[in-house]
Amino acid sequence: MRTLAVVSAGLSTPSSTRLLADRLTDATVAALGERGVAARPEVIELRDHARDLADHLVTGFPNAALRPVLDTVAGADGLIAVSPIFSASYSGLFKTFVDVLDRDALTGTPVLLGATAGTARHQLALDHAMRPLFAYLHATVVPTGVFAASEDWGSSAELAERITRAAGELADLVAARPAATVADPLADPTPFEALLRGA
Amino acid sequence: MQFGVFSVSDITPDPTTGRAPTEAERLQAVLRIAEKTEEVGLDVFALGEHHNPPFFSSSPTTTLGYLAGRTQRLQLSTATTLITTNDPVKIAEDYAMLQHLAGGRVDLTLGRGNTGPVYPWFGQDIRQGIPLAIENYALLRRLWDEDVVDWEGKFRTPLQSFTSTPRPLDGVAPFVWHGSIRSPEIAEQAAYYGDGFFHNHIFWPADHTRRMVDFYRRRFEHYGHGDADQAIVGLGGQVFMRKNSQDAVREFRPYFDEAPVYGHGPSLEDFTRETPLTVGSPQQVIDRTLGFRDYVGDYQRQLFLIDHAGLPLKSVLEQLDLLGEEVVPVLRKEFAARKPAHVPEAPTHESLVAAQIAQQEVTVR
* Chain center to CA of B308: 15
Task: Tell me the one-letter amino acid at B70.
Answer: R
**Count of all residues that appear for chain A in the document:** 199
| Separation between Cα atoms, residue B43 and residue B37, nearest integer Å | 7
Bridge partner residues of B107 (DSSP): B175
Q: Is the peptide bond before B15 cis (omega within 30 degrees of 0)?
A: no
Q: Could you list the beta-strand ranges (E) of A19-95.
A: 39-45, 78-86, 89-90
Domains identified in chain B, total number: 1
Residue A17 and residue A82 in contact, taking contact as beta carbons nearer than 8 Å? yes
Question: What is the predicted pLDDT for the residue at B363?
Answer: 78
Residue ranges of chain B with per-residue pLDDT less than 50: none
User: Average pLDDT for residues A138-166, to the nearest whole number?
Assistant: 94
Dist CA B78 CA B45 (whole Å): 8
Helices B23-39 and B60-70: angle between axes, nearest 10 degrees: 40
CB count in 10 Å sphere of residue B11: 17
Q: How far apart are CA B314 and CA B279, in angstroms?
A: 17
Is B201 in contact with B182 (CB distance < 8 Å)? Answer: no
H-only helix segments in chain B: 23-39, 60-70, 88-101, 118-121, 129-145, 184-193, 206-222, 245-258, 268-274, 282-296, 313-322, 328-338, 349-364
Non-local CB neighbours of B217 within 8 Å, separated by 6+ positions: B191, B228, B229, B231, B233, B297
pLDDT value of position B356: 93
pLDDT in tens, A58-95: 999 999 999 999 999 999 999 999 999 999 999 999 99
Q: DSSP states of A35-57 as a string?
A: TT--EEEEEEEGGGGHHHHHHHH
- How many residues are listed for chain B in this entry? 365
C-alpha closest to that of B49 among B81, B26, B6, B75: B81
CA-CA distances (angstroms) from residue A88 to A118, A119, A126, A130?
12, 12, 9, 11
Chain A contact probe: residue of B185, B186, B197, B218 with most A CBs at under 10 A:
B185
Parallel, antiparallel, or unpaired: how do β-strands B278-280 and B239-241 relate?
A: parallel
The domains located in chain A, with CATH, are 2-198 (3.40.50.360)
CB contact under 8 A, A190 and B188: yes
For B84-95, give one letter per residue: b (16+ CB within 10 A) or e.
bbbbbbebbbbb
* Cβ-contact B179, B111 below 8 angstroms: yes
How far out from the chain centre does Cα B268 lie?
A: 24
Inter-chain residue contact B270 with A199, CB threshold 8 Å: no
pLDDT at A148: 96
**Side-chain-side CA neighbours of residue B70 (13 Å):** 17
Task: Tell me how far apart the 2 most distant CA atoms of chain A are, in Å.
Answer: 65
Chain A contacts of B223, Cβ < 8 Å? 192
Q: Tell me the C-alpha distance between B240 and B306, whole Å.
A: 7
CATH code of the domain containing B137: 3.20.20.30
Tell me the C-alpha to C-alpha distance, in Å, between residue B121 and each of A76, B85, B93, B126: 41, 9, 22, 11
Are the C-beta atoms of A2 and A179 separated by less than 8 Å?
yes
Q: Which value, to the nearest 10 degrees, does the dihedral of the CA atoms of residues B280, B75, B197, B207 take?
A: 0
Chosen for mutation from B188, B204, B211, B272 (greatest number of chain A CBs closer than 10 Å) is B188
The predicted structure's pLDDT at residue B95:
98
Give the residue from B37, B94, B41, B92 showing the smallest Cα distance to B67. Answer: B37
The candidate with the shortest Cα–Cα distance to A20, out of A114, A92, A106, A113, is A114
Distances in Å between the Cα of B97 and the Cα atoms of B7, B59, B65, B102 are 22, 14, 9, 9
Residue B147 makes CB contacts below 8 A (sequence gap 6+) with B163, B167
User: Phi, psi at residue A152, to the nearest 5°?
Assistant: -65, -25
* pLDDT band per the 50, 70, 90 thresholds, residue A155: confident
**Beta bridge partner(s), residue B141:** none
CB pairs under 8 A between A and B: 65
B75-78/B44-47 β-pairing: parallel
B15 Cβ contact partners less than 8 Å away, ≥ 6 residues apart: B254, B255, B257, B258, B309, B310
Q: Are B194 and B225 in contact (CB under 8 A)?
A: yes
Residue A59, chain B, CB below 8 Å: the answer is yes
B185 interaction partners in chain A (CB closer than 8 Å) = 190, 195
Predicted confidence at residue B98, as pLDDT, reads 98
**Minimum CA–CA partner of B275 in chain A:** A63
Q: Which residue numbers of B have CB closer than 8 Å to A's CBs? A: 130-132, 134-135, 138, 153-154, 184-185, 188-189, 191-192, 203-205, 208, 211-212, 214-215, 219, 223, 261-266, 270-271, 273-274
For residues B164 and B96, the answer to whether their CB atoms sit within 8 Å is yes
CA distance A163 to A68: 28
Nearest residue in B to A191, CA atom:
B188
Q: Quick one: which of B207, B182, B278, B199 has its CA closest to B234? A: B199
Does B135 sit within 8 Å of A189, measured CB to CB?
no
Region class of B287: left (phi > 0), else alpha (psi between -120 and 50), else beta: alpha
Query: Which pLDDT score is estimated for B146?
Result: 98
Residue B89 lies in domain:
2-364
Report pLDDT for A157: 87
- In this structure, the number of other CB atoms found within 10 A of the CB of residue B136 comes to 25
Q: Is the pLDDT of residue A199 over 70?
A: no
- Select from B135, B191, B264 the Cβ nearest to the Cβ of A199: B135
Which residues of chain A lie closer than 8 angstroms to B132, CB-CB? 199
